Structure 1
Amino acid sequence: MNKNSNKPIESHIVPKQNTPIRLQEYGVGIFNAAITKSALKKALKKKYIRVDGHVATTATFIKGGETIDIFITEAIKPKKKLIFPLEVLFEDDYLAVIHKPAGILVSGNRFKTIANALVQNIKRSELPDAIIPQPVHRLDYATTGILLVGKTSSSIRALNKLFENKEVDKSYYAISIGEMDMEGKITSEIDGKKSHSNYRVCESVPSERFGKLNLVQLEPETGRRHQLRIHLSSIGNPILGDKEYGIENLILNGKGLYLHAYSLKFRHPFTNEEIHLKDELPQRFKKIFD
């Protein structure tokens, strides 16, 4: 440890934990100097983190009550702030729900991501295990709609558990192309894993270019990558604007993908309240379907 770094640049006192948890899992998002999981692991390997004065490793477990200190010996360059206003649909001390616009990644290595914009748009939690807010699920780059965010380390773990146990009901709307049954269930393998989606046609309109356009409500039972896009394409009804899974001569350029994450329904893991939130359809949907 560098002699000049005998003072931690950040400290955190761990609240009581029901079960012991690895520091490298618990600590994600707690320290500004090591926000991501990979940055935290790197800091642990470089021996920059101490728990109750002892150097921590990737094998360190915490139980509650410990003081975690982070010491960074290298000069830290000030991070650029992403100024990107987001619409917040719901917020409390544990979690938030926001509207994700099209054309931005939820997270990743790019500077412009929802994850990087959250800190500017969401109030920091007052709870002892408050962390930098993080999305707890994903939406595609081109998809708009409702996105759930955790604001504390215990909330992120609890929300992840809800998704794992299929206790979050999600519904989407899409505009699909062509004649299709009024409702159905699509089952297929995606990346070697079973996937299921339910759909219901709410309304259809004739289209000179596309024959017919359908406003379709979708309820995925599983959460595979690009699942809804792949499923609708597999039955011959690709989503309007889908360049990857669309029909070559029926690609709509420049208007984006007509897929919108409309609602989330789940039981709040801390207040036990039934949460049912909706993100209204974008204007471009309403131009086709009133």
Structure 2
Amino acid sequence: MILVETHKVPPLDKPIRLQEYGVGIFASLPTKSGLKKAIKNNLIFVNGKPSTTALFIKGNETIELFQAEDNTFKKHFNFPLEILFEDDYLAIIYKPAGILVSGNSFATIDNALTQNLQKSTLPTATRPRPVHRLDYPTSGLLLIGKTTESIISLNKLFEQKEIQKTYHAVCIGKMKRNGEIDLPIDDKNALTLFEVIQTVTSPRFGHLNLVKLHPKTGRKHQLRKHLFSIGNPILGDKEYFLEDLVLHRKGLFLHASTLSFTHPFSKEKITITKELPKKFKKIFSQ
């Protein structure tokens, strides 16, 4: 088996079953069903031993995700992707809004990668895979690992908070010019910094703000939940919204605009930015 990802459990207030705690801790296993399947196939180890769905996580454990070496069959989704950076170790691609990164569906970014990326020439080359997540309705930059070593290294960079991500969103209502939102999500600490870049008036929404966001943690739906919590939900959000202020048919106005990190192998400083989608520019002229 090949080690793919490692997760260090922080101290916990109370024990929680692995099948509950483990949802979302690995970039390549975003769903509960995927996690349970990996546990059943003896691909999840806790403190060096195969795990079970009945196992309780108490805190400070090391959880490892493996993949079987004989994993040659994989669906191929013929979907053209925009490649913004690529070498033998990793790639950065643009994920359009309205497509899943991974999961049980056929139409995912994960299934389209081998059709779009060059095969790595390195000895540890493996099937390219995303090393983090973007929500289905979110557009923006997605980091891909192309070798076993790079997948592990990139996950460590995320775990050590050495990959800086910048998002842009359109938010509803009056906002402070800048600030931070420090609010736990699912009983885990979560911190987001925000800066309002531009504000326009809107007959329907009162004010619309172009907001730059710097998440300091990576909780599920963190930006969407945090902005909703201060009364400034993201335009087009149908899960976290204020009554009568839901915009339909335009999608979610949330965009992962910049990735910045030191390449784990070449040590080159990489900063990639993807311009805002057209629907943002229609609201903000500058």
TM above 0.5: yes
Matched, 1:275 2:282: no
Counterpart residue number, 2:250: 255
Deviation of residue 80 (structure 1)?
5.0
Question: 1:192 is matched by which residue type in structure 2?
Answer: D
Matched, 1:124 2:119: yes
Counterpart residue number, 1:12: none
* 1:228/1:80 CA distance change after superposition, 3 Å: closer
Deviation of residue 81 (structure 1)?
2.8
Matched, 1:25 2:20: no
Query: Residues 96 and 149 of structure 1 are in contact (CA less than 8 Å); yes or no, is this contact kept in structure 2?
Result: yes
Deviation of residue 25 (structure 1)?
2.0
The C-alpha deviation readout for 1:165-223, integer Å capped at 9, x for no partner, is 00001100000000010000001010000100000000000000000100000000000
The C-alpha deviation readout for 1:132-168, integer Å capped at 9, x for no partner, is 1000000000000000000000000000000000000
Matched, 1:196 2:174: no
Match of 1:209 among 169, 190, 204: 204
**For residues 76 and 158 of structure 2, what CA distance do their matches in structure 1 show?**
30
Following TM superposition, the consecutive aligned residue runs of length 4 or more in structure 1 with deviations greater than 3 angstroms are 36-44
Deviation of residue 41 (structure 1)?
7.4
Deviation of residue 82 (structure 1)?
1.1
Matched, 1:177 2:172: yes
Query: Residues 83 and 94 of structure 2 are in contact (CA less than 8 Å); yes or no, is this contact kept in structure 1?
Result: yes
Counterpart residue number, 1:226: 221
Question: 2:3 is matched by which residue type in structure 1?
Answer: E
Match of 2:137 among 142, 166, 175: 142
Q: Secondary structure at the match of 1:163?
A: helix
Deviation of residue 42 (structure 1)?
3.7
TM-score normalised by length of structure 2: 0.77
Match of 2:93 among 88, 98, 109: 98
**For residues 26 and 116 of structure 1, what CA distance do their matches in structure 2 show?**
17
Identity %: 57
Q: Secondary structure at the match of 1:147?
A: strand
In structure 1, runs of 5+ residues without a counterpart are 1-22, 28-35, 45-56, 60-67
Match of 2:102 among 79, 82, 107: 107
* 1:270/1:177 CA distance change after superposition, 3 Å: same
In structure 2, runs of 5+ residues without a counterpart are 6-33, 44-48, 52-67
Question: 1:158 is matched by which residue type in structure 2?
Answer: S
Q: Secondary structure at the match of 1:248?
A: coil
The C-alpha deviation readout for 1:32-52, integer Å capped at 9, x for no partner, is xxxx995797498xxxxxxxx
Give the count of matched residue pairs: 235
Query: Residues 125 and 146 of structure 2 are in contact (CA less than 8 Å); yes or no, is this contact kept in structure 1?
Result: yes
Q: Secondary structure at the match of 1:157?
A: helix
Question: 2:222 is matched by which residue type in structure 1?
Answer: Q
Q: Secondary structure at the match of 2:282?
A: helix
**For residues 283 and 162 of structure 1, what CA distance do their matches in structure 2 show?**
32
